[in-house]
């Protein structure tokens, strides 16, 4: 028998859809024009993962409480089974926002699906692996359950000599958890730090004071947790008088730039830039003079940096200085096909993540790319796993690693 | 006319329009209340008029995104909306917003084409594209999309209304009482004037179903006719804010 959820809690959770989101749920024509472009659907063919199906199911639940019939005859209960079915749909999604880019009505699905995850979270339907990740974040302030004193291990492993942890600095390098704790990304951190050192910037790290940016909490549906993390990080950065925060992580960048002002109700007193924007400026001003790489290089736009972050041209401008033989991948820029590395899909369904990344790797291989670059540690991890799973010989490098290499720093 | 239609016909033509307008406005008010009762979106997104208009034109009017991803569906959708717009425009003549004489300077045949020939083609086009869209929905149902009952109701209601309207044009006219030549929605403001006596039974049902359709718009998925313009404008503003 279907188990009904507590009425007050259900109503409160369903009542959190904002004006625009309700308008969007009502506007979705369930037309499926976005379906084929959805990487999660394209690789799985599971109807429940299709964005339009998720929209229908969400609208059905909202209407049970706030629809016309609910107003006339009273709200109808929502069952635990309905919530877990919606959770399956909501978490088998990379939150890449490609459905927004395909939807004729421009529904801002990235935010809509994040709200659906919040709904699922509030009603206790979060998938077990995602719940575990949420708990680790609450406990350790990072999604890997590691101690804070391991945040700077990357500097030891890479033999970085100058690792500043200052009380005051002009620039802060926000490393991000996936760069700091995942070995495959340690050289990304090293590359960024080396470039900052090379340019003699007055910069600092937050060290153990750096908490996760909050992105995985938002992706898990825990908005309150994300707010707490945002407050902590902004306080730590503002206390150091930082004017510019640089990050090499597309997820951290997007959350700092576009979510923090919403979470905090104010803009932080510093600007946030992605490392690739910083690099572009330094290359353009002639302060950095790299040796161009000889070989075919392709660039994959991280969804959170491009479509969801607004940075599309900067990496391409950087690559003009770094490589002689640049290849543009199909489905790039605003229309980028996700690599599968986002939206906590690794926790929800790693097989699907690998299927998605293999498709993207195949596109690069078909063009004869020798090096595949990106500008996000989650993309790099996905590609590294994909290369391993498909026994590809493409070299996966973050754009900052490629830059450091061509500058003779790595 | 039979006894029942003697009673119903004047009702559909003279009384129901008032109810139609009232139900439509009530539906719009209820929709607006539903949206406005929800919490505001956090943060302030500046509205960029230029980007809003640009993306409404590109995406809602021209279906740019669908064109990029699926040319066949784009063609059907585009023709469907062209036909819908054309038919709506044709009805505006009945509301005296334009007349055949306005096209006379371009030649008599243009004026005749506009009021006699084009509407018939538009009607067939509208029916054909609706059927194709219904088939598409049916084929994808359960695999790529999950329709709510009102998705189908709206489409079926529209199809019936269109078929009745087309029948009215192609079947021979019958005599109807002269006082029913005008359908009054708002006296002196929204009045549909009929120039010719249409085929009675088709007209009778077309008037009924058109009004049911209009009443249903704000309660159905068809609300996207209006809300889709808003969401697209908001998407345009987002792109402007993100600098992309
Ligand atoms: S955000 Fe990406 S993965 Fe999720 S439904 Fe949309 S297209 Fe699919
Ligand atoms: S999100 Fe847009 S494209 Fe996808 S089903 Fe809804 S209306 Fe159609």
pLDDT tens-digit map of B8-24 = 777 887 789 899 999 99
Q: What pLDDT is attached to residue B3?
A: 67
Flag whether pLDDT at A85 surpasses 60. yes
Flag whether pLDDT at B1 surpasses 60. no
Residue nearest to atom 2 of ligand 1 (CA): A96
Measure the CA–CA gap between A245 and B112, rounded to whole angstroms. 68
Lowest mean pLDDT among A151-160, A345-354, B225-234: A151-160
Does residue B44 form part of some domain?
no
Task: Pull the structure tokens for residue B36.
Answer: 């406005």
Does residue B39 form part of some domain?
no
Model confidence band, residue A314 (pLDDT cutoffs 50, 70, 90): very high
Burial of A220 (C-beta count, 10 Å sphere; 0-12/13-18/19+): buried
The boundaries of the domain holding residue B20 are 4-34+49-239
Q: Closest chain B residue to A108 measured between Cα atoms?
A: B235
Distance of CA B104 to the CA centre of its chain: 27
More confident call, B180 vs A158 = A158
Give the total residue count for chain B. Answer: 244
Does residue B180 form part of some domain?
yes
Of A278, A262, A249, A259, nearest to A142 (Cα)? A249
pLDDT digits (tens, 9 = 90+) for B104-131: 889 889 988 998 899 999 999 999 999 9
DSSP A300-369: PPPTTTTTTT---HHHHHHHHHHEEEEEEPSS-GGGPPP-S-STTHHHH-HHHHHHHHHHHHHHHHHTT-
Flag whether pLDDT at B172 surpasses 90. no
Taking the CA of residue A100 as reference, the ligand 1 atom at the shortest distance is 6
- Characterize the bridge pairing of strands A171-174 and A244-247: parallel
Model confidence band, residue A92 (pLDDT cutoffs 50, 70, 90): very high
Does residue B97 form part of some domain?
yes
pLDDT digits (tens, 9 = 90+) for A152-203: 999 988 888 878 999 999 999 999 999 999 999 999 999 999 999 999 999 9
B151 within 8 A of A30, measured Cβ to Cβ: yes
φ, ψ of residue B201 in degrees (nearest 5): -65, -40
Residue matched to tokens 């020939």: B117
Q: pTM to 2 decimals?
A: 0.94
Mutate to test the pocket of ligand 2, among A21, A24, A31, A56 (most ligand atoms within 8 A of CB): A31
DSSP H helical ranges for B46-184? 49-55, 64-69, 71-94, 108-112, 118-140, 149-170
Measure the CA–CA gap between A389 and A358, rounded to whole angstroms. 8
* Structural Rg of chain B based on CA atoms: 21
A126 within 8 A of A120, measured Cβ to Cβ: yes
Q: What is the mean pLDDT of chain A?
A: 96
Structural domains in chain B (count): 1
Domains and CATH numbers, chain A: 7-126 (1.10.1060), 130-280 (3.40.50.1860), 290-406 (3.40.50.1860)
pLDDT digits (tens, 9 = 90+) for A10-25: 999 999 999 999 999 9
Q: What pLDDT is attached to residue B215?
A: 96
Contacting A residues, span 51-90, partner chain B, CB-CB under 8 Å:
52-53, 56-57, 59-60, 66, 68, 71
Q: Give the count of beta carbons closer than 10 Å to the beta carbon of residue A10.
A: 23
Of A356, A349, A348, A347, nearest to A382 (Cα)? A356
Q: What pLDDT is attached to residue B226?
A: 93
Model confidence band, residue B174 (pLDDT cutoffs 50, 70, 90): low
Contacting A residues, span 225-254, partner chain B, CB-CB under 8 Å:
none
Q: What is the dihedral of CA B39, A214, A211, B238, to 10 degrees?
A: -80
Flag whether pLDDT at B179 surpasses 70. no
Question: Does residue A55 line the site of ligand 2, with CB under 6 A?
Answer: yes
φ, ψ of residue B68 in degrees (nearest 5): -70, -35
Lowest mean pLDDT among A169-183, B42-56, B153-167: B42-56
CA of A149 to the centre of ligand 1 (A): 36
Does residue B42 form part of some domain?
no
Model confidence band, residue A1 (pLDDT cutoffs 50, 70, 90): low
Flag whether pLDDT at B178 surpasses 70. no
Flag whether pLDDT at B177 surpasses 60. no
Does residue B40 form part of some domain?
no
Does residue B43 form part of some domain?
no
Q: Tell me, what CATH number does B169's domain have?
A: 1.20.950.20
Q: What is the mean pLDDT of chain B?
A: 89
φ, ψ of residue A204 in degrees (nearest 5): -145, 160
More confident call, A205 vs A4 = A205
Model confidence band, residue B175 (pLDDT cutoffs 50, 70, 90): low
Partnered with residue A173 across adjacent β-strands are A246
User: What is the three-class DSSP state of B130?
Assistant: helix
Mean pLDDT, rounded, for B143-155: 91
* Structural Rg of chain A based on CA atoms: 21
User: What is the three-class DSSP state of B141?
Assistant: strand
CA of B88 to the centre of ligand 2 (A): 25
pLDDT digits (tens, 9 = 90+) for A372-395: 999 999 999 999 999 999 989 999
Does residue B41 form part of some domain?
no
Q: What pLDDT is attached to residue A304?
A: 98
Measure the CA–CA gap between B86 and B95, rounded to whole angstroms. 15
Q: Give the count of beta carbons closer than 10 Å to the beta carbon of residue B195.
A: 11
Give the total residue count for chain A. Answer: 410
Measure the CA–CA gap between A147 and A132, rounded to whole angstroms. 16
Core vs surface per residue B124-140: b (16+ CB within 10 A) or e: ebbbebbebbeebbeeb
């Amino acid at each position: 028998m279907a188990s009904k959820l507590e009425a007050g809690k259900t109503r409160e959770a369903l009542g959190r859809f904002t004006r625009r989101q309700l308008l969007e749920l009502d506007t979705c024509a369930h037309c499926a024009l976005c379906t084929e472009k959805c990487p999660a659907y394209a690789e799985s063919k599971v109807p429940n993962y299709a964005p339009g199906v998720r929209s229908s199911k969400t609208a059905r639940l909202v209407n049970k409480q706030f629809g016309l019939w609910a107003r006339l005859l009273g709200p109808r209960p929502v069952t635990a089974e309905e919530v877990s079915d919606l959770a399956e749909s909501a978490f088998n999604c990379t939150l890449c926002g490609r459905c927004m880019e395909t939807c004729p009505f421009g529904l801002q699905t990235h935010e809509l699906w994040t709200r659906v995850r919040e709904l699922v979270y509030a009603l206790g339907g979060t998938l077990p692996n995602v719940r575990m990740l949420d708990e680790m974040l609450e406990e350790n302030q990072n999604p890997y359950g590691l101690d804070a004193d391991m945040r700077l291990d990357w500097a030891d492993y890479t033999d970085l000599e100058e690792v500043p942890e200052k009380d005051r600095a002009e620039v802060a390098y926000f490393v991000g958890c996936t760069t700091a704790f995942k070995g495959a990304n340690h050289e990304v951190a090293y590359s960024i730090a080396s470039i900052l050192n090379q340019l003699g910037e007055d910069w600092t790290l937050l060290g153990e004071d750096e908490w996760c940016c909050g992105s995985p909490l938002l992706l898990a549906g825990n908005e309150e947790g994300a707010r707490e993390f945002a407050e902590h990080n902004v306080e730590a950065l503002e206390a150091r008088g930082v004017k510019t925060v640089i990050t090499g992580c597309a997820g951290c960048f997007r959350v700092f730039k576009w979510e923090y002002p919403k979470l905090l109700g104010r803009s932080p007193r510093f600007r946030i830039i992605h490392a690739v924007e910083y690099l572009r400026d330094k290359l353009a001003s002639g302060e950095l003079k790299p040796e161009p790489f000889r070989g075919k290089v392709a660039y994959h736009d991280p969804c959170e940096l491009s479509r969801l972050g607004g940075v599309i041209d900067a990496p391409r401008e950087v690559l003009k200085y770094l490589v002689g033989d640049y290849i543009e991948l199909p489905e790039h820029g605003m229309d980028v096909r996700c690599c599968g590395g986002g939206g906590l899909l690794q926790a929800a369904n790693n097989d699907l993540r690998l299927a998605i990344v293999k498709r993207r790797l195949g596109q690069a291989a078909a063009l004869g790319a020798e090096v595949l670059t990106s500008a996000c540690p989650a993309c790099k991890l996905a590609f590294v796993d994909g290369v391993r799973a498909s026994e590809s010989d493409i070299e996966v490098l973050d754009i900052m690693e490629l830059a450091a290499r061509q500058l003779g720093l790595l | 006319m039979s006894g029942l239609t003697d009673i119903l016909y004047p009702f559909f033509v003279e009384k129901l329009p008032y109810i139609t307008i009232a139900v439509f406005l009530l539906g719009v008010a209820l929709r607006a209340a539903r949206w406005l009762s929800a919490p505001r979106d956090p943060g302030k997104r500046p509205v960029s008029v230029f980007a809003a208009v640009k993306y409404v034109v590109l995406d809602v009017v021209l279906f740019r995104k669908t064109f990029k991803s699926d040319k066949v569906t784009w063609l059907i959708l585009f023709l469907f909306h062209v036909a819908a717009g054309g038919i709506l425009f044709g009805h505006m003549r009945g509301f005296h917003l334009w007349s055949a004489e306005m096209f006379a300077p371009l030649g008599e045949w243009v004026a005749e084409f506009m009021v006699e020939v084009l509407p018939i083609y538009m009607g067939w086009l509208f029916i054909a594209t609706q059927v194709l869209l219904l088939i598409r929905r049916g084929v994808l149902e359960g695999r790529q999309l999950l329709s709510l009952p009102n998705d189908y109701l709206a489409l079926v209601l529209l199809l019936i209304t269109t078929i009745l309207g087309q029948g009215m044009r192609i079947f021979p006219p019958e005599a109807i009482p002269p006082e029913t030549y005008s359908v009054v929605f708002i006296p002196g403001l929204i009045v549909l004037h009929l120039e010719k006596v249409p085929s009675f039974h088709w007209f009778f049902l077309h008037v009924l179903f058109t009004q049911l359709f209009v009443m249903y718009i704000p309660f159905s998925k068809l609300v996207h006719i209006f809300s889709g313009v808003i969401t697209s404008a908001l998407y345009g503003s987002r792109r402007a804010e993100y600098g992309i």
